[in-house]
């Protein structure tokens, strides 16, 4: 099953799949990562995870947003990440699916956040 998730990411990816390391969790659906571009070249990028909408960490959603951010940090801690190179950008962030490659095998980050937090796979009403 884990290889199926990675195979689906690779098949759905219009660009290359790159290894990445978590720098920090900005909020439940936005990460800052250090991407391995190959040949010992790395770049720090802000990544917006598609198909994942989490409560904001400011305003009336603050408590749920902070819980989602903490859950994302918990899921990503110590994991090897893979991101998909895309040309899509939003609010100065690259849009990319993220997979975790850890002890539990390969896991789709967005699907796991939807399953285990207050985040949704569809846009949340404001």
Number of domains in the chain: 1
In a domain, 119, yes or no: no
Q: Which residues pair with 64 in a beta bridge?
A: none
CB contact at 8 A, 83 and 18:
yes
Give the per-residue pLDDT at 122: 84
Give the per-residue pLDDT at 92: 85
Domain that holds residue 35: 2-113
In a domain, 124, yes or no: no
Give the per-residue pLDDT at 1: 46
Quote the pTM value. 0.84
In a domain, 122, yes or no: no
CB contact at 8 A, 100 and 25:
no
Give the per-residue pLDDT at 4: 56
Assigned token pair, 84: 């998909």
- CA 77 vs. chain centroid, Å, equals 12
Q: What is the CATH number of the domain that holds 81?
A: 2.40.50.90
Give the per-residue pLDDT at 125: 59
Assigned token pair, 55: 């409560």
List per-block mean pLDDT (blocks of 10 residues) for the chain, which spans 126 residues. 53 78 96 94 95 94 96 94 84 91 84 94 70
Q: Which residues contact 96 (CB under 8 A, 6 or more apart)?
A: 47, 48, 49, 50, 83, 84, 85, 86
């Amino acid at each position: 099953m884990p290889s199926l998730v990675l195979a689906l990411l690779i098949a759905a990816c219009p660009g290359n799949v790159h290894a990445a390391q978590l720098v920090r969790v900005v909020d439940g659906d936005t990460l800052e990562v250090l991407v391995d571009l190959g040949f010992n070249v790395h770049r720090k990028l802000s990544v917006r995870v598609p198909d994942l909408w989490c409560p904001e960490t400011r305003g009336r959603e603050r408590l749920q947003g902070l819980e989602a951010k903490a859950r994302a940090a918990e899921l990503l801690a110590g994991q090897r990440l893979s991101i998909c190179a895309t040309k899509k950008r939003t609010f100065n962030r690259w849009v990319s699916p993220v997979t975790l490659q850890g002890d539990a095998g390969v896991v789709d980050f967005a699907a796991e956040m939807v399953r285990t937090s207050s985040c949704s796979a569809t846009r949340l009403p404001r």
